[in-house]
Amino acid sequence: MTTNELAQPETATALQPEMPATRWGDPAHASGLPDGVRDLVSLVFPVRDTPAVIDVALPVSRITDGQLAALRELLGVEHVVTDDGSRRVRTRGKSTPDLLRQRSGDLTDAPDVVVRPGSHDDVAALLAWAGTERVAVVPFGGGTAVTGGLVADPASAGLTGVVSLDLGRMRRLLALDPVSSTATLEPGLRGPEAEALLAQHGLMLGHFPQSFEFATIGGFAATRSSGQSSAGYGRFDAMVVALRVATPAGDVRLGASPANASGPDLRELFLGSEGAFGVITEVTVRVRPLPEVKDYEGWRWASFADGADAMRQLAQADLLPTVLRLSDENETAINLADPEGIGGEGNAGCLMIVGYEGTPAAVAAKKAAVTGALTALGGTALGAEPGQSWASGRFNAPYLRDSLLDNGVLVETLETVTFWSNRENLYTRVKAALEAALPGAMVLCHVSHVYATGCSLYFTVAAPGGEDPLAAWLPAKAAACEAIVAAGASITHHHAVGTDHKPYLTAEIGEVGARVLHAVKDAVDPVGILNPGVLIP
């Protein structure tokens, strides 16, 4: 089935609404901290109004009039913009440091121009132009990056100026192969847009990261995203069967088959390449029938270790449900609005969310098997309410972060992944590093992605923001990263490397690994225009 036969939504070529520069998401969906929550928070942290500074002028664009004229000739006048608002919302991503810098009026990383190519060929033409002009190109999807992946350093590559390559016009479902269960999507499609296009055919992708509502297909691929249903549907990189990438060295099409022995799997070089090796212009993914049933429920475990061990046993028995997540004691207490329970003994234990999706028969069979296993392992079933509660609020955390920042509370997350036998060690080290670096901090953790051989650990930190929350956070983040490296874990499970994790990458992939990344970079991007300073050590 090709694009002519595929109904495209009316919005497919319209530009998407943009997120505010200093906040997450759709302002219409944002809400201040409810009074009850503010009262609760104020029991733990000093609360005070901390508004953003917003009337700050942007740096003067380094793009020359001649370059602007050339870009307009290349892409069309309306697709080349330099207004302050467009540049402002494409300055950095949505990590807490990114937001804090924006909120303090620091716009030093603003791109010089925003361009909106409409096709692979447009992207290829832009890359050729940028190579000749020696201007950096930063691919921009949903703008939800949280590790500095949108903060290019043109000077590091001897370049002048930054083009933000906004993929928002490339939002088509290009092809659907219902027999093979694959769909070819353009990179600018946001999560809900991609799902809506597929749902017209009774299909879905099933990738629901926290950033789902705003992040894009291209970004998912470029950063090896992982979603809340990864237990059932897999990481995004595992969903990808084929890629098309525009590189300065030429067009790349990879994925002639589901799997093969045709040498190294080069798809795996472009997955996770964070815009440094090329601009992903087409992503072919495995799709699935829309689930007829969604059944989420809660389970209680006496301890984080007990719950994690149950997850391990499910994964190793190839008995994973669709959603499987486990909060530690602190996160469980917060979920129960019981801050007094944090750090205490004899608390309410640990909450696990277990979700099943699929046909009624498949859900019934899986649920029976999983329920039997979890019961045998000592879990206590809590019924549907905790599951429904989790599902209804699953994309809300970044809005809450804004509200807390507004109230002077520093909030940030970080994540890592290791083998099961190292989980406890990693958890203890990272938690201790954060608590030591941020006196008075509340450190929460959950496991939300599991494998037969290991699991992710996702930490949420809340602390008094003080006069300079950025200055408070950066050493804590460094301490956490050093603890991760010392524990022999990966520096990131699904947030990617960007610039924030780059100092720790060589410890993970070694000197030869770093040399390989440089060699590939030189081969596909000899001038070094693509996202300079990002990813490559």
Contacts (CB under 8 A) with a copy of itself, residues 336-375:
362, 365, 369
Taking the complex as a whole, the smallest distance from the CB of residue 516 to a copy of itself amounts, in Å, to 5
Compute CA 2 distance to the chain's CA centroid, rounded to the nearest angstrom.
30
Query: Considering the rule CB under 8 A, would residue 489 count as an interface residue with a copy of itself?
Result: yes
Query: Considering the rule CB under 8 A, would residue 421 count as an interface residue with a copy of itself?
Result: yes
Query: Considering the rule CB under 8 A, would residue 21 count as an interface residue with a copy of itself?
Result: no
CA–CA gap between residue 508 and residue 180 (Å, rounded): 36
Burial class (CB in 10 A: 0-12, 13-18, 19+), 361: exposed
Taking the complex as a whole, the smallest distance from the CB of residue 128 to a copy of itself amounts, in Å, to 14
Binding-residue total with a copy of itself (CB under 8 A)? 89
Taking the complex as a whole, the smallest distance from the CB of residue 302 to a copy of itself amounts, in Å, to 19
Cα angle 292-296-300, degrees, rounded to a multiple of 5: 160
Neighbours of 37 (CB within 10 A): 15
Query: Considering the rule CB under 8 A, would residue 525 count as an interface residue with a copy of itself?
Result: no
Rg (CA), the chain: 23
Q: In the complex with a copy of itself, which residue's Cβ is closer, 80 or 252?
A: 252
Site string for a copy of itself, 302-321 (x = CB under 8 A): ----------x---xxx---
Query: Considering the rule CB under 8 A, would residue 249 count as an interface residue with a copy of itself?
Result: yes
CA–CA gap between residue 211 and residue 198 (Å, rounded): 19
Secondary structure (3-state) at 332: helix
Query: Considering the rule CB under 8 A, would residue 66 count as an interface residue with a copy of itself?
Result: no
Question: Which window, 22-30, 93-101, 273-281, 437-445, contacts a copy of itself (CB under 8 A)?
Answer: 273-281
Query: Considering the rule CB under 8 A, would residue 496 count as an interface residue with a copy of itself?
Result: yes
Q: In the complex with a copy of itself, which residue's Cβ is closer, 438 or 484?
A: 484
CB of 364 closer than 8 Å to CB of 295: no
Q: In the complex with a copy of itself, which residue's Cβ is closer, 471 or 516?
A: 516
Query: Considering the rule CB under 8 A, would residue 500 count as an interface residue with a copy of itself?
Result: no
136-140 and 162-166 strand pairing: parallel
Taking the complex as a whole, the smallest distance from the CB of residue 158 to a copy of itself amounts, in Å, to 20
> DSSP E strands: which ranges in 380-530?
380-383, 409-419, 442-447, 454-464
Question: Which window, 14-22, 200-208, 220-228, 383-391, contacts a copy of itself (CB under 8 A)?
Answer: 220-228
Query: Considering the rule CB under 8 A, would residue 271 count as an interface residue with a copy of itself?
Result: yes
Query: 127, 165, 174, 269: which one contacts a copy of itself (CB under 8 A)?
Result: 269
Q: In the complex with a copy of itself, which residue's Cβ is closer, 33 or 269?
A: 269
Q: In the complex with a copy of itself, which residue's Cβ is closer, 417 or 472?
A: 417
Structure tokens at 259: 């799997």
Taking the complex as a whole, the smallest distance from the CB of residue 321 to a copy of itself amounts, in Å, to 12
Query: 420, 427, 458, 473: which one contacts a copy of itself (CB under 8 A)?
Result: 420
Question: Which window, 58-66, 331-339, 430-438, 493-501, contacts a copy of itself (CB under 8 A)?
Answer: 493-501
CB of 205 closer than 8 Å to CB of 232: no
Residue 255 half-sphere exposure, CB side, CA atoms within 13 Å?
A: 25
Query: Considering the rule CB under 8 A, would residue 258 count as an interface residue with a copy of itself?
Result: yes
Give, as one character, the DSSP assignment of residue 115: E
Residue 335 half-sphere exposure, CB side, CA atoms within 13 Å?
A: 27
Q: In the complex with a copy of itself, which residue's Cβ is closer, 420 or 473?
A: 420
Query: 39, 121, 265, 340: which one contacts a copy of itself (CB under 8 A)?
Result: 265
Q: In the complex with a copy of itself, which residue's Cβ is closer, 107 or 126?
A: 126
Question: Which window, 20-28, 44-52, 419-427, 435-443, contacts a copy of itself (CB under 8 A)?
Answer: 419-427
Question: Which window, 22-30, 75-83, 378-386, 491-499, contacts a copy of itself (CB under 8 A)?
Answer: 491-499
CA–CA gap between residue 202 and residue 195 (Å, rounded): 10
CB of 147 closer than 8 Å to CB of 92: no
Query: 253, 292, 375, 383: which one contacts a copy of itself (CB under 8 A)?
Result: 253
Residue 154 half-sphere exposure, CB side, CA atoms within 13 Å?
A: 21
Three-state SS string over 60-109 comes to: CCCCCHHHHHHHHHHHCHHHEECCHHHHHCCCCCCCHHHHHHHHCCCCCC
- Which parts of 137-196 interact with a copy of itself (CB under 8 A)? 177, 179-182
Query: Considering the rule CB under 8 A, would residue 519 count as an interface residue with a copy of itself?
Result: yes
**DSSP code string of 356-415:** EEE-HHHHHHHHHHHHHHHHHTT-EEEEHHHHHHHHHTTT-HHHHHHHHHHTTEEEEEEE
- Which parts of 442-461 interact with a copy of itself (CB under 8 A)? 449, 451-455
